[in-house]
Each structure stands twice: as C-alpha cells, then as structure tokens.
Structure 1
Amino acid sequence: MGDICVSVAEKSREALLEQLRRLPERGAGCLEVRFDYLEEPTDLAEILDQRTCPLIATARRPEDGGRWNRPEAERRKLLRDACRAGFDYVDLEEDIAHHIPREGDAKRLISYHDMLGMPDNLPTLAHQLEAGDADVLKIAVMPQRVADTFRLLRWATSRKVPALVIAMGDLGVASRILNAKVGSPFTFAAADVASVVAPGMLTLAELRDVYHYPSIGADTRVFGVIGDPIAQSLSPKVHNAAFAADGQDTVYVPFRVPEEELDEFMAEATAFGIEGLSVTIPHKQRLLRHGDVRDPLVSAAHSSNTWVHAEGRRALFNTDGPAVLHALEQLRGTTVLENVTALILGAGGVSRTIAVVLGDAGAQVVLANRTRERAEALAKEVGVDAVDWEERGAVACDLLVNATKVGMVPKIDETPFPEASLREGMVVFDTVYNPERTKLIESAAARGCQVVTGAEMFVHQAEAQYRLFTGRAPKRGLMLEVVRQAFATNK
C-alpha cells in the first residue's frame, strides 16, 4: 500500500512553509518540495523544521517538466545539500545520479521523465536507473496509447527495487491509482486543481476521498469505466463510494479508451485482472465482440454498457434498459406502456436500447434524429417509426425521451425539443445527467409535465452494474446522494 505524496510547488517561502504545515493534516503521507518553483531563498533547515511526514527534495529541469531556470551547477549543489541536510528522499535524474554520491540517510529516488513519449526499451532503462544507486525508481512518461499504461504497470511488478510508475496525461490517469497495486511506494498528487504540476495529476482529495489510495494493495480488486471522453464521468465517485460503504477491498478507475484502441485495451484489461467495466460512448456496440455470453437485451439492442469477467467467462449486460423502466415505474406505478406514444430523440446506442425496451413494454415508438438516414436505419432494425428532426414537435407523444447530448455540460442553455410543443401531462425523460436539471427538464416542469432526470437513470443503471460486479446491492440511496453532492460541489 502506498502513500499520497503532494507536490508542493509554491513561489514564496511563506506559502511553502504553510503548505508543509497544513497538507499532512489533510491526509498527505509525504510531501515533495519543488525547489524549481521556489523564487525566494529558503534555508533547508527551516524547511526540515516543519517536517511532520517524509519530504522529497526535487529541482526539476524544464526538459523534464520542471521550471528550474538557474545554472545547472547550482541545482546539483542544492540536491547534494538536501542529501546532507536530512531530506528523506532526493530526486535525482538518471543522467546526473552518478555525479551526486550517496550522503547521509537520504534515500535516492532515481528518475526518468519523457514529456513527449514512451521509451521503447523499458528493461534497458530499468538497468540504467538501478545503476544510479537507487532506493526507488521513478518513470514518468507520456503514453501514446492506453496500452502503454499497462506496459508500465507490468514493468513495475518485475523490479527488485521499488518502482514508481506514472503514465501522464488523460490516457494514463489510471496509472496514478493502480501503481499502488503493483508496489509503488507512493503516488504524486496536487494540493488542489490550481496546483497541478503535471498532465493528468489528480488532487489529494480525489486520491484520498474517491479512490482511497492508501488502502490499495496487491490484492485489491479492480473495476473501471471506459469511454472517450471520460474525464467528466461520475461513475468512479458513485462506485467507489459504494465499495467503501460495503467494506470491500476494491477500486474503480477511469480509462480514456480511444475508439480505435478498444480491442487492444480489452486484451490488456483482461491480462491485468480487471474484473468488470462500465462502458460508455463510443464503445457500447463495439464491445459485443468481447463477450462470451450476453443477456437478452444486449442481443436485442446490439448494445452493452457492462462487461464482467469472472471464472474465465466474459459476460455482457445492458443495464440502461432496465434503468429506464425502473425510473418510469417509480413515476407511473407501472412498466406497461400500451396506448403510449413514445418519441425518442437521437439514434445512437442509448436510443437503440430505449427503443427496444419501450417497444417491448407496449409503447408505439417514434425516432427523430438530426440525420434522417440514421433514424430510419435504426427504426428499421428495431421495428419502430421515424420522423424528420424538424417534425419532432408535431408528434403527439405521451412520453418524450432525450437520448442526445443536447443540454449536457458545458452547453447547458440548449434544449433538443421545442418548448412550445411541451404539453401538460406529458412525461419528459432526459438521459443527460450533468446537469441534473437540464433546460429541457426545467421547461417541461414549468409546463406541467412529469419529469424523469438523467441522474435517476444513471443511478438505477449504476446500482444494477454494482449488483453484477459484486452480487450485492449497494447501500440504499447512496449513489444518488453522491451524484447530487457532486453536482452541488461543481456549481
């Protein structure tokens, strides 16, 4: 299990000392003093006097992602002085480590940084780092493919010297969490969003409160969510909260997986031992080739949002459809939709699933999409009707479902349906969950419609996924509470 090491990148002496006092109280297990950011002379002894947890001395060069702008000789002298003064660790780049011999009790963190790419030969690089008389190895690189993250994690497990691996950027966020599972002694974090010093760096609060990083170890089970984009997903918050409340040694992490890399990712995820995935745009249909068995709705809708790998079997499920019916049942008291005309906006994977489940429940389903050809193609596949996008307001529907992205953050002032066509008594269901009260939902409520928010659907499908992942129900009401707390925090 590892510690969260917060990089303290302050310009002033006073701000640095204040952070050294405050951050351990907030849960930092280690602090990295970034001397390359410091613009005022500061006595090393004064810094060490504030120590209440291990300190790392770092003076990063620009080519390694830092801001050191003084002579190199001065930088090396500072690092030697930090060794003698009693810092717990001193970060030495691989190419200068042999110029700075071991002194005092400071541990040597021998590092390699590539802000632009991924090294071709990790074993050779490992030998070079170890040759620097290393106590800890560190590799921080920019992955070119999501599979590079798994390459780094595998590399760390094969080292005799503890290795800290970081894949930077949005392709490598998971490495900053999962490195604890492969033996990294700590991971780097920012004090807050404004203090991020490297691409993809998470904050102390995220690693502490969302991912529970100090509790992750070799036996921790791993689940996750894949999509592109993925940064705004609330799935890690809701699932990790449920796992923690259930007392499970489990972590749920986000993976940005570009569309063309899905097959490669799934092979790597299976080999790494990931036990389950939530799946979002653009992978819900392409995922079908990665399942050995599938539930009936997956077969009918040709779409899956849940992948579970257990006992050598890869199973595909669709929890979106049941979530829609559950939300409607809570509102109407029944899932029987005979004599109900349902207008679905959009022709993507979610629209396909909703069209199937509403049709099976007895509704007369009509599709509208900006591209008429896509609406007609989907309508033909699932046996429903289609209308031109411009005619959507003229459909005499009892149930309106928005399955487009219109109204989603950041374009919250947009709506996919003419306000004048909203009628009192209609049921309006928006699958967009961020924000919860979209412009469509607000307009519908103001006109006397019954409304179902995307947050309700999101929570119902997440609860169903949790049961598939664990065989247990999450704590009642917890996931919806977490979603609404997230919305309140982001306002």
Structure 2
Amino acid sequence: MLCIAVTPTSRTLAKVDLLNAARRADLVELCLDHLTKDPDVGDLLAACPKPVIVSCRSTQYGGKYDGGETHRLGLLRQAIIAGPAYVELDPDAAEALPRFGETKRLVAFHSPNKPLKKIAATVDRAVKELHADAVKFTWPTPDLAAAWPLIYAVSQKLSVPVVGQGIGGGGLTFSLLARMLGSPWIYAALEQGMEDVEGQPTVEALESVYDARAIDKKTRFVAFAGFPDRGATNGDQGSACRSWNAAATAAGVPQRALPLEVGKFDHLPDMLRILKIRVAALGPALSAEAAKEWSQFAPLSLDDADGRAVPTVAMQAKDGWRGRVSSRAALIHALTATCGGSLERRQITLLGAGIGTEALARMLMDRGATLAIADPDDAAAATTAQRLNARALQWRAVYSTHTDVLIRGERGANAPAPVPLGEGPKAYNHAGLEPRLTVADATAIWAETDFLAAARTHACTITEPSAVAAAVLSRLFEKVTGEAWPGGE
C-alpha cells in the first residue's frame, strides 16, 4: 500500500489535503503536529474516504509539535476516540495512552542519528509492553549502507507488521526496496515541499517515475548510480530511471530502476546478492571517490581497461563483478544515426591520442570510417596512428585538412585532460568549427560540454548526449531483459 502523509498548517487546508491524498493513496497519514490550531479530529476524519493514520510527533521524535506534553497526549487521545485506522504513538505516548476501541496502535521508534539495534527485541517489547499492532522505525538513510538495517527490519517475519521511513537521500531507495520486500505500506509526500521527513519521495515520483504500485516480490532492480536529473530531489536519479522504467512497463518485464548511493562498499557484494541486483548503470555524477570505489568493485575487462576509464556498467559475472565501458559503442551508434546510418568512407578526425581514444578509433575503423588522429603532441598522434594503421595529422594542419566528423577524445597519460578550447598552441580554436561538420565529444558523453556548446554556436550537426545515453540504456536493457528497447532509441 501507498501511504501519503499530509502536513497541513490549517484546519481548512487539512480537509483539502486529505481529499487530494485520498485520490491517490491507499492509506493517508494526518500529521497533527503541523497545525497551528487544535483540530476537531473527528471532523477531519469524516472528510477522508480512505483509512487514516493520525500522528502528532513532538520535536523529540522528529515532528513539529513544540507545545506541552500533556496537551499533545490530549490530541492523541482525541484522535483515538475519533476512530482512525491507526494512531501513531511514540514509546512515551504508548505508555501513557491505553488501547481504546478499534483503533490500531502503530508504535513508532525514531532515531535521528543512527540505526537502532536489536530490532526483533524492540518489536517484542512494543507488542508486549506497549500493545502495538504494528511497529514503525525511522532513522537516517543517506545511502544503501546506512539504510541496510532499516531494509533488514522491514524484511523480517515478526509478530506484527513492521514499516520504515528513511531520512535523507536514500529515502526513495529504501521505499522502493521496501515495496519489493513486502512492507505493508510505504510513505510518500503529497507534493514536493510537503515532506514529513527529509528525503521523503513524492507520490508523483513513486507513481510516474518508478511505477511503485507494480513493484512486488517478483520485481528485479537495476541499480542506477550517478544519474541526477536537473532539479532532481529526494535521491531521484531522474530521466535515466524514468526512461528505463517506461521501457520496462512497455515491454511487460518485471525490471525497475533503483536510484542508488552506496556509501561504504565493504559489504556491497552481499547486499546486492541479497537484493538480487546483478547490474548497475554508472553515470556522470559519481563523486571521484565513488567512481574509484566502483572501479575497484567492478574492475574493467581486458578489452576496456586503459588505466583511467571508469565503467559505465557493472555486471555480476561468475568470477565476481566486472565493469564495462559501454559508452564508446553507444557514442558510435548515436554518431552513425546522426550521419544517416553509415560511417562508410566518412572522413573522421579524432582529437586526442589517449588509449581510450585508440579503443574508440578501432571501433570507428570497423565501421568503415577513414581516420585521422590529431593531438597537440604530434609525436603521440604519430605513435597512436601507427598502431592503428591510420593517418597521423600534425596539429598545425588540423584546421586546413578536410574532415566530415570531428570527435574530441581522450589524450595520453602525460596530458590526461581533453584538448581544451582556446587560442593557444595546444588548444583547439573554435573558429575551426564549421556548419558542415558533424561534432561529437567522447570525453563526457552523458552531458553538454564546452566543445559541443561551441559547435552549436557554429551551427554544426551535433551527436547529442541524450542520444548516446539512450543507446547505453537500450543496449543494457536488451542485455538484462532479452527484450528490445520499446519505441526505438
């Protein structure tokens, strides 16, 4: 079930929020601690056609209520008498308030700084001493490692149902996993800006991006790390996850994208094995530390290893996790589409003489392209061209030599940064960009670069990063599901 928490500040808005939430929720949580005036709880409940959880959390337990404890307990007592489906009670309130009527008791444990230990013992105490019908745990989940105890808590078969709520960037990740693990319900905010806790996903994200209602025990996740959308919030990996989930829905396969921030990698193999995650897509927004960790966790195959490359895909193999650099093949696929479906006899100039560029060059030559290698270091360009049996182009001739396609690639070990734009002797002058050229950038294939931006101003034809990203995802989708990417690329 999906529980939408509403956090109204006025009694009038409370009724509106309850009605709006009821249209999209299976269960609604009414958070009384946000109200500025005492409500008539029975009147509010009458306005909601769905089962309601009533809560009134003090600041000690992560809420907004900062009045007297006696008054807070009075509000909760009034809520119990009004007869909602559940009343949420922290341990203090559960000790003070007896069971009454048919209202079920959701005993909530809030730990603002770290996970709680001895989950089973805590649940047993809640049942025996606090008369809990269900138990809720809330604590920080900035990443998978921190969320793991909460994932464990909701996955156990205990004497009463257990639900959880993650605080922070991993809240969405936890909620999606909780759906797969059979949690009785997960929490969502009605709208962005109305979150009950930091990191709470919105119902819009859960429904339209992740199709959360379709997630069940048969669902298998593909992890997406480092794919933020512009303006993405609450751990949302944005358009990449949206595209993957839309494709899975259209193809009718039980695959879903899981936004993932790992945190500590110490126990990642075991965590992924337990969650039955065998594939991870790795995007451009990984921190330097995370990229290093992923490279060590999923070392590149011999075909891809070039000393600096970061895998764009990590897959579980018989001998452990292995990385792949799928972006080069995807770039060529997108470039081929940009060039009308063929690179045969196309004159292509690669800027940069690095090992990664060399791997890209071999793929281009396999497609029938005629290749020239140029680098501010003429000796490096000559050495690379000789290994490839391609043409070496001296840097001073790069503007005067005819080419159809211009691709910026990686440079060598002594000059790891890509060829810069500029007017110096070791830079590429954007004046050399002409409208007749097709331009691509292999150094940052997921996003706009200064090189592509300059090419746009000169009306060049661009191999769009979005097309490259789609090619990466479509090939991964086919590999994972055995189905074609619906609707093309």
Short-chain TM bin: 0.7 to 0.9
Structure 1 match to 2:327? 320
**Structure 2 counterpart SS, 1:274:** coil
Q: Tell me, yes or no, if structure 1 residue 254 matches structure 2 residue 259.
A: yes
Provide closer, same or farther for how the CA distance between residues 293 and 417 of structure 1 changes in structure 2, counting only shifts above 3 A.
Answer: closer
**CA–CA distance in 1 between the matches of 2:250 and 2:387?**
43
Amino acid paired to 2:436: G
Q: Deviations over 1:153-190 (max 9, x none)?
A: 12322232211123321144310211112222111111
Q: Is 1:463 aligned with 2:474?
A: yes
- What per-residue deviation string (whole Å, max 9, x for no partner) do you get for residues 89-143 of structure 1? 1111123312211111111111111222222443443333334222221111014
Q: Which residue of 1 aligns with 2:241?
A: 236
Residue segments in structure 1 that go unaligned for 5+ positions in a row: 386-390, 407-415, 481-491
Aligned residue number for residue 46 of structure 2 = 49
Matched, 1:86 2:96: no
Cα offsets for 1:353-409 (capped at 9, x unmatched): 5552234424444568xxx9xxx9xx99x9899xxxxx9997978413378999xxx
Residue aligned with 1:342, SS: strand
Displacement of 1:286 in angstroms is: 4.7
- Mapped to 2, the partners of 1:121 and 1:383 lie a distance apart of 61
| Offset of residue 301 of structure 1 | 7.7
Query: Partner residue of 2:350?
Result: 342
Which residue is equivalent to 1:95?
A: 92
Q: Does 1:15 align with 2:20?
A: no
Deviation of the 1:234 alpha carbon: 2.4
Cα pair 1:94 1:128 within 8 Å, conserved: no
Is contact 2:439–2:463 with CA below 8 Å preserved after alignment? yes
Could you tell which deviates more after superposition, 29-38 or 210-219?
A: 210-219
The TM-score with structure 2 as length reference comes to 0.79
Partner Cα distance (1:11, 1:308) in 2: 48
Superposition TM-score, scaled by structure 1 size: 0.79
CA distance in 1, matches of 2:155, 2:299: 30
- One-letter identity of the residue aligned with 2:332: L
Distance in 2, Cα, partners of 1:292 & 1:109? 46
Does residue 71 in structure 1 map to residue 68 in structure 2?
Answer: yes
Flag the 1:196–1:471 CA change in 2: closer, same or farther, 3 A: same
Identity %: 21
Shift of 1:293: 9.2
Distance (whole Å) between structure 2 residues aligned to residue 392 and residue 273 of structure 1? 54
Label 1:206 to 1:186 Cα distance change in 2 as closer, same or farther (>3 A). Answer: same
CA distance in 1 between partners of 2:26 and 2:458 (Å): 53
Q: Residue 303 of structure 2 aligns to which amino acid in structure 1?
A: P
Q: Secondary structure at the match of 1:165?
A: strand
Corresponding residue number in structure 1 for 2:463? 452
Change (3 A) 1:19 1:271: same
Report the secondary structure of 2:84's partner residue: coil
Do the aligned partners of 1:336 and 1:361 also contact (CA within 8 Å) in 2?
no
The structure-2 alpha-carbon separation of the partners of 1:96 and 1:23, relative to structure 1 and needing over 3 Å to count, comes to closer
The match for 1:110 is 107
TM-superposed deviation, 1:81: 1.6
Which consecutive residues of structure 2, in runs of 5 or more, have no partner in the other structure?
229-234, 366-370, 391-395, 411-415, 419-426
Query: 1:204 deviation in Å?
Result: 0.5
- How is 1:355-366 mapped onto 2 (pairs within 5 angstroms)? 355-362=358-365, 363-365=371-373
| Separation in structure 2 between the aligned mates of residue 428 and residue 293 of structure 1, nearest angstrom | 28
In 1, distance between residues paired with 2:104 and 2:397?
67
Letter paired with 2:348: V
State the AA in 1 paired with 2:194: S
* Amino acid in the other structure paired with 1:399: L
Check if 1:269 corresponds to 2:272. Answer: yes
CA separation of 1:456/1:271 partners in 2, compared to 1, >3 Å: closer, same or farther?
A: same
Deviates more, 1:464-473 or 1:94-103: 94-103
Q: Does the residue aligned with 1:256 lie in a helix, a strand or coil?
A: coil
Distance in 1 (alpha carbons) for counterparts of 2:356 and 2:482: 24
Distance 1:395 1:225 in 2: 43
Mapped contact 2:155–2:181 kept (Cα < 8 A): yes
Alignment check: 8 A CA contact 2:300 2:323 kept? yes
Distance 1:289 1:446, change over 3 A: closer
The residue aligned with 1:329 is 336
Deviates more, 1:119-128 or 1:288-297: 288-297
- Secondary structure, aligned partner of 2:92: coil
Whichever of the two has the greater Rg, that structure is: 2
Q: Distance in 1 between matches of 2:154 and 2:273?
A: 18
Pairs within 5 Å for 1:291-302 = 294=301, 296-297=303-304
The alignment yields a C-alpha RMSD, in angstroms, of 3.7
CA contact (8 A) 2:141 2:169 kept: no
Question: Deviation of residue 296 (structure 1)?
Answer: 3.4
Cα distance in structure 2, aligned partners of 1:163 and 1:473:
39
Contact map agreement 1:423 1:449 (CA 8 A) in 2: yes
Secondary structure of the structure 1 residue equivalent to 2:33: coil
The Cα of 1:32 is off from its aligned counterpart by 0.9
Judge conservation of contact 1:226–1:256 (CA < 8 Å) in 2.
yes
1:39-73 CA-to-partner distances (Å, cap 9, x unmatched) read 13321121111121111101111122211021111
Find the counterpart in structure 2 of residue 61 from structure 1: 58
Letter matched to residue 38 of structure 1: L
| Inter-partner Cα distance in structure 2 for 1:107 and 1:395 | 80
Change (3 A) 1:361 1:441: closer
